[in-house]
Amino acid sequence: MTLSASRTALAASLLLALLALTGCGKDTPADAAPGHGEPGHEEGEDDHDAPESTTITAAMAGQAGIRVAPVVAGTIADEHDVQGLLTPVDGRVAQVTARFPGPIRSLRANVGDRVAAGQVLASIESNLSLTTYTVSAPIAGVVLARQAQVGGVAGEGTPLFEIGDLSTLWVDLHIFGNDTQHITAGVPVTVSRMTDGVSQATTLERVLPGTATASQSTVARATLRNDDGLWRPGAAVKARIVVATTPAAQIVPLSALQSMDGKDVVFVRTADTYTARPVTLGARDATQVEVLSGLTPGEDVVVEQSYVVKADIGKAGASHEH
């Protein structure tokens, strides 16, 4: 757990403890509460039909990390989670070879070095002329491999270095089953590094015509910028492909949803009062859900730390049962 998450959780715990001590905004004094046989309360009346709510001051809500956002229109995405591999772009990898056979006198680059186009990488003494000539980088990039050693003998055409321009990479995504029928070129995709979770948005450029032999998958290809140099060829990545989007009149984040008494609810804030509102849900994607009924556009609903509000309402309800 991160330090910020620990602080938020601690603040939420302190808030719940404080609310338990001070009581919530919907408590009614005992001498004013209607009871059995008193006016305003009929035998068998179900008090649970009333909206469940609690009062949390703005200061307490801020300490607990409770955040609200208005109900808005949006779109629900038809998404597919896939995995893939990073590879160099064809045409951006170059082999550096010896022009004439002879002993290698010097090497001026190692694996991982960045080199410029035209930069001298090695010197070789030609067996034909007995003079020394140099070998230069044909493109700018990173040295991916070195197959030569000082004192070794280079044959004509022998590979000495492999240089790759890694400023952009291909990501080959593996598609299985029915997904291959409706994932096409041109749809958006978000690719995430497994090492640190950094994501980049791009577009599928093409779906390759063949099938990957080992996995029997269809390969969909996109291009990634590699500005920070941390997207590495051969690394596995995760990706989310958006096949289609559907408009929705009302959406809320999945983090807004809670379950109370077997019903889906969100918490609507009016001033300092938070009320549980049952909702009817429609389609959803990885981050949000469509609300078919129960809310009005523009209402403020809790979108972060909704479990804190649920817990406080639960404590308030428990106190009324005694």
By CB neighbour count within 10 A (0-12 exposed, 13-18 middle, 19+ buried), where does 140 fall?
A: middle
> What pLDDT does residue 178 have?
80
Whether the pLDDT of residue 41 is over 80: the answer is no
Same domain, 193 and 85: yes
Same domain, 85 and 195: yes
SS3 184: coil
> What pLDDT does residue 49 have?
52
> What pLDDT does residue 24 have?
43
Same domain, 253 and 305: yes
> What pLDDT does residue 286 have?
86
Same domain, 219 and 262: no
Same domain, 202 and 58: no
Whether the pLDDT of residue 125 is over 70: the answer is yes
> What pLDDT does residue 182 have?
81
Question: How far is it, in rounded angstroms, from Cα 24 to Cα 78?
Answer: 41
- Whole-model pTM: value is 0.65
- Please, are residues 134 and 120 in contact by the beta-carbon 8 Å criterion? yes
Range of the domain at 188: 78-89+168-243
Looking up tokens 């001033």 gives: 271
CATH code of the domain containing 234:
2.40.30.170
Same domain, 219 and 313: no
Whether the pLDDT of residue 204 is over 60: the answer is yes
Question: How far is it, in rounded angstroms, from Cα 187 to Cα 206?
Answer: 10
Specify which residues 308 forms β-bridges with.
none
Of 164, 179, 199, the last residue of a domain is 164
User: How many domains are there within the chain?
Assistant: 3
Same domain, 125 and 180: no
Per-residue CA distances from 274 to 68, 108, 149, 308 (Å)? 10, 69, 73, 11
Question: How far is it, in rounded angstroms, from Cα 187 to Cα 16?
Answer: 45
Q: Residue 204 region, left (φ>0) first, then alpha (ψ -120 to 50), else beta? A: beta
Of 164, 179, 197, the last residue of a domain is 164
Same domain, 69 and 217: no
- Residue 86 C-beta-side C-alpha neighbours within 13 Å: 21
Same domain, 219 and 254: no
Q: Which stretch, 28-37, 111-120, 151-160, 181-190, has highest mean pLDDT?
A: 111-120
Whether the pLDDT of residue 2 is over 50: the answer is no
Same domain, 273 and 213: no
Of 122, 146, 164, the last residue of a domain is 164
Q: Residue 46 region, left (φ>0) first, then alpha (ψ -120 to 50), else beta? A: beta
Mean pLDDT of 195-209: 93
CATH code of the domain containing 119:
2.40.50.100
Question: How far is it, in rounded angstroms, from Cα 99 to Cα 299?
Answer: 74
> What pLDDT does residue 215 have?
80
Same domain, 208 and 222: yes
**pLDDT, tens digit, 9 for 90 and up, residues 263-303:** 999 999 999 999 999 999 999 988 999 999 999 999 999 99
